[in-house]
Structure 1
Amino acid sequence: MKFIITKNYDELSRVMCQNILSHMYSNNERINIALTTGKTCLKGYKYLSSEINNKLYFENVNYYIFDEFYFKSENYKETLPVCRISLDKEFFRDAHIKESQIHDLTFENYKTFDHDIIKNGGFDLVIMGVGSNGHFCGNQPGTFSNWNDGTRLVKTNQTEYLKNYSKKLLKNDFNSTDEKRIPSHYITMGPKTIMNAKHIIFILNGDEKAEVVKKAFFSPISDEFPVSIFQLHQNVTVILDEKAANLIKDII
């Protein structure tokens, strides 16, 4: 496991961009990258967009969304993929990524997704943040049976955290409190799906993530803090700012 400690959020974002680009410049015929949503990566995506915008030699890069909530529209007649909408806004549109390069998780493809991604060469890179409760992708504590779980459906009311989280997404992304718009299930790649990736990069910043970093990468592996499983992965890079690294500086 490699730790990169940057001075601040701007440097962290530039290092994130550079690490993604190093994979994109690969000689592989096809490159598969799974991306996270969330505020930590926003500036990194801005830097990346400016580097790859309209460059045809990156058309072999394929982008995957590793979890998805399909909320109902106001009239309940359409579904709105919150993670795809976010990545469209924060990255795909600015970078002029073609639709054919973007791969959504859907109710039609999730059952075969793990087989399909392996058939297409597997993930070269997965970019992730870490939730305060140790979740990664949609793998919240209490939502998977074992570390071999793959891509699957999860009930949005399976835990109290998820009930509240779904309401938060509804409010923050759609400015709504109409809980009838919340889907019964969401889709997520599983622990096994992500563990099969060739390289995983975690991005964390700020004082509030210092304890998360220590627990994720230096405490015993536990399904109560799911991200801890990646202590066993052979190729992990953790990019931090000084605040997020505050509790591990004397360990690494």
Structure 2
Amino acid sequence: MTQPLHLGLLGAMPEEIGSDLSHLKDLSCSDHGDLKIHRGSWGDEVRLSLAWSGWGKVSAARAATRLLASDPSIDLLVFTGVAGAADPILRQWDVVLADAVVQHDMDARPLFTRFTVPALKKEQLQPQPAWFNWAETALREAHSAGDLDGFAQPSSGLIATGDRFISNPAVLQTLRNALPDLRAVEMEGAAVAQVAEQEGVPWLVLRVISDGADAAAAQSFEDFVKLYEKQAWRLIEALLQRCNNTPRHCA
């Protein structure tokens, strides 16, 4: 009998996954210092291990490491939540699935080129194509079916991570100049991707635009997350409802 898909799910804040865990059954919780890992099941098809990491690369990497170490059966690690728009065409509620991530504050020059992660010798990290294609297809199908009402048509692109909440247009433009394909900026995703890569676990980074990474970003962000908490789980559920088509099940 095929074992259920085991999804590791991380967000920086409860609002980015939805703090109400009533949609899961067989809930349990373990404490790891100040980090709580919640475990449960969604139907008979999916097991979930989830945690809220806190903001920033160190907190995200710590949570990812703890989560993966807590159960070696995790099939896929997903980091989800909100992000600032770097691409000027993006608006609030736009959904961006990362086809690549970069740590925009990683700079070990002259030993390595800018953005290169020394441990992996890569400037950008890409999710495994099979998992990315599954998630991209699932999100588009969910949107077409009306399961993501209120969210915009999902798209994909480069997401940049750094330990800075970007609300300065000049800073954002400097990043755009260095990374012409940049679509969104946030503070955790690429750190989680690095941990997953080094641990040999597939990963995805899924973001919803909350603000324009501009002078109004702080207020836009605060207002948006209050609304987003009520909708966040729907984005996760869009993937869970299509879990029978994952690379794991099709292998």
Q: Which has the higher helix share?
A: 1
If the length of structure 2 is used for normalisation, what is the TM-score?
A: 0.31
